[in-house]
């Protein structure tokens, strides 16, 4: 009797079984307590209108961004400049991709985390003990011409639509990095320059409906290893951030993007701004699609704060390191480990 071949992607596995596989069930002490979450009114995190970022009220907007980076590590932006049609197109082709036949999707499949373009599941199936309730398509995006020909060619509009979105997302990331520099009292281009040649990649995340969402995570609590993350999400909630030791639900706001500080900006700000724990929970009714853009230093960039941010009250928080060195350490430690930054504290 032939042995059934396990399906590599979660969405196909759950479509076949209709249950939560044992590989995705968390130990009892490591499950999301869905009742112990703060559901605040509004977005749940600071909401900043970027309409006046490039006008006479720039200083006020910059100060709001700085305050959010210092106190929350997360904020939402409206009037961010990415055209609505580009945003809608990105979400549309993401959904179309994950609804392609299994055989078509699997053309992109790989469990090798070093591949620049790959479809996979969970986070790192080679090393983790329990899988996460997520399939994802990982795309490197900058320089765009170096990668776009390796992207999926189905749906037919995928490359054109996602290329347009990734270009707009990069432009917004650069505007935000300039504002963050100014909020720290630095020259406007400081952070842009400090990140060397730059890198950009995105994950197109697909979270299928989960029969028992209390047993698993879309992604467990983690911090982002990059500099700044720009999250596009559909109207289904799932993101939660940690504030004061409690989880706070981030409620989707129409036409807004979620921005969060990653570990590299924490290091570049000499701990003034914090990279914050966040997680994704799933639900039993609706699929969820999210598209985080991860903006990063280039691998050879040396990450170190400006001299103006180091003084007697703010001693050097981390020794200088290259982003390549950091990223390898992050992958070796795994998603749920304590902040990788602690490995780079200066020796006493």
Q: Give the CATH number for residue 51.
A: 2.60.120.330
- Which pLDDT does position 42 carry in this prediction? 72
* 189 touches 259 (CB < 8 A): no
Mean pLDDT across the stretch 88-106?
A: 97
* Under 8 Å between Cβ of 66 and 180: yes
- Whether residue 30 is contained in a domain is answered as no
Residue 249 lies in a domain: yes
d(CA 169, CA 147): 16
Q: Pick 193 or 340 by higher pLDDT.
A: 193
Of 74, 336, 337, the C-alpha closest to 217 is 336
Per-residue pLDDT at 41 exceeds 80: no
With bands split at pLDDT 50, 70 and 90, how would you rate the model's confidence at 185?
Answer: very high
Residue 3: what pLDDT?
39
**Amino acid 126: pLDDT:** 64
Cis peptide before 74 (omega within 30 of 0): no
Specify the pLDDT at position 4: 43
Q: What percent of the chain has pLDDT over 70?
A: 96
Give the CA dihedral 131, 136, 137, 138, nearest 10 degrees: -60
Does residue 165 fall inside a structural domain?
yes
Residue 240 has pLDDT above 60, yes or no: yes
pLDDT value at residue 338? 60
Q: Confirm if 43 and 76 have CB atoms less than 8 A apart.
A: yes
pLDDT band for position 56 (50/70/90)? very high
Give a three-class secondary structure readout of the chain.
CCCCCCCCCHHHHHHHHCCCCHHHCCCHHHCCCCCCEECCCCCCCCEEEHHHCCCCCHHHHHHHHHHHHHHCCEEEEECCCCCHHHHHHHHHHHHHHHCCCHHHHHHHECCCCCCCEEEEECCCCCCCCCCCCCEEEEEEEECHHHHHHHCCCCCCCHHHHHHHHHHHHHHHHHHHHHHHHHHCCCCCCHHHHHCCCCEEEEEEEEECCCCCHHHCCCEEEECCCCCEEEEEECCCCCEEEEECCEEEECCCCCCCEEEEECHHHHHHCCCCCCCCCEEECCCCCCCEEEEEEEEECCCCCEECCCHHHCCCCCCCCCCCEEHHHHHHHHHHHCCCCCCHHHHHCCCC
Please check whether residue 15 lies inside any domain of the structure: no
Band (pLDDT 50/70/90 cuts) for residue 332 is confident
The reported pLDDT for the residue numbered 125 is: 62
Inform me whether the pLDDT recorded for 1 exceeds 50.
no
How many domains, the chain?
1
pLDDT digits (tens, 9 = 90+) for 201-216: 999 999 999 999 999 9
Task: Please check whether residue 13 lies inside any domain of the structure.
Answer: no
Confidence of residue 164 (pLDDT cuts 50, 70, 90): very high
pLDDT above 50: residue 96: yes
Mean pLDDT, all residues of the chain? 93
On whether residue 257 sits in a domain, the answer given is: yes
Q: What integer is the mean pLDDT of 172-197?
A: 98
Average pLDDT over residues 222-246: 95
Tell me if 221 is assigned to some domain: yes
pLDDT of residue 114 exceeding 90, the answer is no
Whether residue 24 lies inside any domain: the answer is no
Is residue 2 predicted with pLDDT exceeding 80? Answer: no
The whole domain housing 91 covers 35-344
Q: Is the pLDDT of residue 5 over 60?
A: no
């Amino acid at each position: 009797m032939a042995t059934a071949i396990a399906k590599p992607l979660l969405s196909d596995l759950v479509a076949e079984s209709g249950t939560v596989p044992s590989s995705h069930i968390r130990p009892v002490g490591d499950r999301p307590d869905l009742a112990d979450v703060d559901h605040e009114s509004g977005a749940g995190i600071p909401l900043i209108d970027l309409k006046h970022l490039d006008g006479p009220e720039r200083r006020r907007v910059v100060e709001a961004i700085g305050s959010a980076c210092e106190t929350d590590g997360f904020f939402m932006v409206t009037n961010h400049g990415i055209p609505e049609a580009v945003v809608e197109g990105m979400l549309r082709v993401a959904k179309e991709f994950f609804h392609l036949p299994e055989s078509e999707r699997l053309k992109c499949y790989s469990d090798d985390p070093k591949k620049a373009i790959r479809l996979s599941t969970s986070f790192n199936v080679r090393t983790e003990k329990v899988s996460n309730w997520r399939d994802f398509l990982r795309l490197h995006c900058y320089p765009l011409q170096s990668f776009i020909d390796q992207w999926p060619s189905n749906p037919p509009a995928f490359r054109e639509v996602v290329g347009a979105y990734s270009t707009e997302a990069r432009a917004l990331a650069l505007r935000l990095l300039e504002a963050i520099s100014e909020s720290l009292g630095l020259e406007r281009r400081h952070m842009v320059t400090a990140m060397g040649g730059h890198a950009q990649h995105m994950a197109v995340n697909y979270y299928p409906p989960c029969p028992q969402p209390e047993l698993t995570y879309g992604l467990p609590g983690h911090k982002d290893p990059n500099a700044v993350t720009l999250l596009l999400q559909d109207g289904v909630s799932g993101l939660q951030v940690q504030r004061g030791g409690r989880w706070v639900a981030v409620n989707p706001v129409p036409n807004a993007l979620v921005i969060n500080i990653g570990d590299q900006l924490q290091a570049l700000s000499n701990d003034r701004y914090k990279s914050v724990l966040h997680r994704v929970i799933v639900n039993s009714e609706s699929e969820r699609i999210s598209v985080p853009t991860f903006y990063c230093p280039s691998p050879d960039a040396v990450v170190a704060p400006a001299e103006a941010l180091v003084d007697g009250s703010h001693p050097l928080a981390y020794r200088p390191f290259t982003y390549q060195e950091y990223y390898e350490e992050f992958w070796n430690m795994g998603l749920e480990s304590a902040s990788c930054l602690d490995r780079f504290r200066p020796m006493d």
